[in-house]
Amino acid sequence: MLRRVGSSPTFRTSNDLDAGNLLPMSTHVSIQEVLEAAIVRALATLSSNGVLPAHVELPLTITLERPKNRDHGDYATSIALALAKSAGIAPRDIATALQAALLADAAVSKDLAAVDIAGAGFLNLTLAKASQGGVIASILTSGSEFGKSSTLAGVKVNLEFVSANPTGPLHLGHTRWAAVGDALGRVLSAAGAHVTREFYVNDRGVQMDLFGESIRSAALGIARPEAGYHGAYIEDIASAIVTTNPEFKELPEEQSIHAFRDAGYAIQLADQQRVLDNMNTHFDIWFSEKSLYEDNFFNHCLETLKKQGHVFEHEGAIWLRTTDFGDDKDRVMIKSDGSFAYFASDSAYYISKRERGFDVLIYMLGADHHGYVHRLKALASCAGDDPAKNIDILIGQLVKILENGEELKLSKRAGTIITLEELIEKVGVDAARYTLIRYPVDTPMVMDVDVLRSRTNENPVYYVQYAHARICGVLRNATDLGIDFGVDHIHPELLEHERERELIGALGEFPRIVASAAELREPHRIARYLEELAGTYHRFYADCRVLPLGDEPASELHSARATLCKSTAQVIANSLELLGVSAPEKM
C-alpha cells in the first residue's frame, strides 16, 4: 500500500499542534517500521544511482504486509511490482536491486536473516531470530498502553449512538449500537482521538405527550390512546408515579398529562441509563433535544445557517435548501403553523456539536434511518462544512435473536420486541457485547442464544476468554515452580519453534489492527484479530510445552516461553478492554 506524498491523513486537523501533549505513551519503534523506513531509503538509493529512472515517483512511506504463507517470510512488499511499469524495468530486476541495497544497509542488515525474491517480484523479508524479541519487550514495558497510537491524535470526535426515545425500554434495535458504539469509542480513543460519547434524548414533541397520556390512562384505569404506548411497563411506571404523587390523578387533564409525562420521562430515562450502565456502555453527555430551543439557541442556529445562504421561505414555512447538496428534496425546519419540524432539531443539534468544537461528528443510525444520510450530509454542506471530513454516518443493519431455533420477537414486559435487558439476562454482558461487536455493522446478524450459552468453539467469546484464562493458569503455575519470567527473560534466540514465530508475529500486528479499526470505524476488526491471536496461542500451547515436565530442571527456554505467554495475555487483555469485555483469570 502506497501513501502519496502530499496526501494528508483524512482526520488530521489544525489542532495537531497540541498532539504532542497527548502522546506520552509508546515511543517504541517497531522492527516493522524500521524495515519500512529502510525500504524507502533503498528506493531513494536506487533512484540516485540510476537503477530507477529519475521520473519515477517514489512513495514516501510504504507498508509492509504480513504474508499469509509463512514460506514467504515475516514481511513482504510488492513495491517492485508497483514501480515496474512507470520505471519500464522488469519487477524482478527492481526487486534484485532493492535486495542488494537492503543487505548493504548497515542499519537493518543485522535484523534480516534473509531477503528473498519470489513470484513476479515480491520481496520477502525474514527476520533474524534475535530481532524478533523487540515486540515482546515493547508489550511488557507498555502494558495496557500497548497498541495505542497517535493516528487520530488531536482530533475531537463526537460519537452519538443509541439515542433512543425515552418513552420505553431499550430494545433489540438499540443493542447493536450500545455495544458497537461503546467499543468504537474505546478504539478511537486508543488511536489518540479525543472522544465524547453522546446520547441524544428526544424529550419533546408529540411522542412525549402520547407517552404522558398513556401513563395517565393506565393510572386512571381508562382506555389508552390508540396511537399511544401499550406495553405492560406503562402500568409499572404509572403505579410508581401514583405512589409518590397521587395528586397527579386529580389535576386538570392537560396538566395531569404533563405531570405524568415528565415524571414518566425521568423514570424511563433513569431506567435506560441503568441498563446501559449494566452493559458497560457509558456516555459523557445526555443531550436534551428540548435544550436546543432554550435560551434562543435555535434562532442562533437559524441565523448561522442563513449566513451560508441556503435558508428560504415558501408558503409560510422555513426551509433548508438541502437539494443544493444532493438531497432529493428540500427540508422544512419551521412548519407553516409555526411549529418546529423534526429537521429543525437535527439542524440545531448539528450546529451545537460543531460549535462545541468537534471536528468529526459520527452518527450511528439504524437501517431504518438510512434515508437520513443524504439530508445530514447536505445539512453539513449547508452549514459550510465538508461532509467528507466533518461528518461520518454509520448505518447498522438489524439484529435478530434466536432461541431454540425460533426467532424471539415479543417481550412480555415491553409489549414490543425483546429488550436489551432481557437479552443480557439470557446470555450475559460479555457474550452479548462480544457477539454484537464481532460482525461488520452493515450486515444483518443473528444472535443465537443457545450458542451464546454454550462452552465450545462455536462460541467465540469463550474461545477468546479461555485463551486468557489458560495463560493466567500457566503463569500461576510458573510462579509456583519458581520460574522467572518478564522483560529480563525474553531470550528471542531460543524461541525458534514455528508456533513461537507465529505467535510473536501475531502479537506484533496488534497496534496496526487498532489503528485501522479506528480509521475505518470498524471495531469488529479487533474481535477478529483476537480470535486469530487466541487460535495462534492455543496452537502454540498444544505444541510447545511451557513449564518443566516432572522433575525436569527449569531452563531459560521455560522462562522465555512463560514470558511469551505473559505478553500474549497482555495483548488479549488489551483487545478485550477495547471491546469492553472482561478478561477472566480463571474459567
Partner RNA sequence: GUCCCAGUAGCUCAGUGGAUAGAGCGACCGCCUCCUAAGCGGUAGGCCACGGGUUCAACUCCCGUCUGGGACACCA
Nearer to RNA, 78 or 390 (CB): 78
Residue (of 164, 171, 176) closest to 442 by Cα position: 176
Least distance (Å) from RNA to the CB of residue 533?
11
Nearer to RNA, 135 or 562 (CB): 562
Least distance (Å) from RNA to the CB of residue 338?
10
8-state DSSP, 49: T
Least distance (Å) from RNA to the CB of residue 361?
17
* The length of the chain, given as a count of residues: 587
Nearer to RNA, 194 or 521 (CB): 521
Residue 21, beta-bridge partner list? none
Least distance (Å) from RNA to the CB of residue 413?
22
Backbone φ and ψ for 288, nearest 5 degrees, come out as: -85, 125
Strands 445-448 and 399-403, by their bridges, are: parallel
Q: Which helix (H) or strand (E) holds 204?
A: none
Least distance (Å) from RNA to the CB of residue 576?
15
Least distance (Å) from RNA to the CB of residue 224?
17
Least distance (Å) from RNA to the CB of residue 93?
14
User: Which residue is it, cell 443465537?
Assistant: 448
Residue 448, beta-bridge partner list? 402
Cβ–Cβ under 8 Å, residues 433 and 580:
yes
Nearer to RNA, 450 or 493 (CB): 450
Nearer to RNA, 205 or 415 (CB): 205
3-state DSSP percent of the chain in helix, strand and coil, to 5: 55, 15, 30
User: What distance separates the 2 farthest-apart alpha carbons in the chain?
Assistant: 93
**Cα–Cα–Cα angle for 548, 552, 554, rounded to 5 degrees:** 60
Cβ–Cβ under 8 Å, residues 444 and 438:
no
Nearer to RNA, 135 or 467 (CB): 467
Nearer to RNA, 129 or 497 (CB): 497
8-state DSSP, 398: P
Q: Exposed, middle or buried, 104 (CB in 10 Å: 0-12/13-18/19+)?
A: exposed
Nearer to RNA, 40 or 240 (CB): 40
Residue (of 90, 139, 142) closest to 117 by Cα position: 90
Least distance (Å) from RNA to the CB of residue 49?
23
Q: C-alpha cell of 521?
A: 470505524
